[in-house]
Amino acid sequence: MPPPSKEEAPVELPTYARSGKRLPADGGEPGRVVLAYCRGFEIERDATSYYKRLERLKQLPTASEIAARSKEAGQSLTVQQIVERDWVIRRDNAKSSPTRCKVLGGSVDKGVAVIVLEADLNGKRQRGTATVVPTKGKWRVQDHGDWAVIK
């Protein structure tokens, strides 16, 4: 009798993703695109860390952006104040965006990939799908949806 497999059984795909070629457990290239997409929603734990990242990447607001934001706010704002405001908005938006994603598998049919993944969404660990399509020769996330809380 052969030893039990150490690999997990393939994830069950939604009915609309069962046609076409099954992707490996990591989702292949479309799966990697979904993970990069999810990482885009992850934020630093505090505004100071966010400021340091923007500074390191040379993405702090420019003088013209500071002037425009100050005019919009009706008061003089510093770079630090703008970064803190932006961080708060990102933190609040991240609650409804998938973070800590883990690709479980998927399929590709007629050039459209459906990736099954688990992610933190709205404060709960959920399972959902992402539709990934080729655009100008590269895979791009078209949308993510069909989320359900993992029991």
Same domain, 76 and 106: no
Same domain, 30 and 57: no
Q: Is the CB of residue 71 less than 8 Å from the CB of residue 80?
A: no
Per-residue confidence at 6, pLDDT binned at 50, 70, 90? very low
Same domain, 84 and 105: no
Same domain, 63 and 89: yes
pLDDT at 7 over 60: no
**What is the per-residue pLDDT for 92?**
86
**What is the per-residue pLDDT for 9?**
53
Could you tell me the residue range of the domain that residue 111 belongs to?
Answer: 15-41+97-149
For the chain, the residue count is 151
Same domain, 90 and 54: yes
Instruction: Report the percent of the chain where pLDDT is more than 70.
Output: 93
- Looking up residue 113, the CATH number of its domain turns out to be 3.10.450
Q: What does DSSP assign to residue 96?
A: T
Q: Is 123 left (phi over 0), alpha (psi -120 to 50) or beta?
A: left
Q: Tens of pLDDT along 53-95?
A: 999 999 999 999 999 999 999 999 999 999 999 999 988 888 8
**What is the per-residue pLDDT for 144?**
80
Does the pTM surpass 0.85? The reply is no
What does the buried/exposed string (b/e) look like for 32-45 if buried means 16 or more CB atoms within 10 Å of the residue's CB?
ebbbebbeebebee
Tell whether 2 is covered by a domain. Answer: no
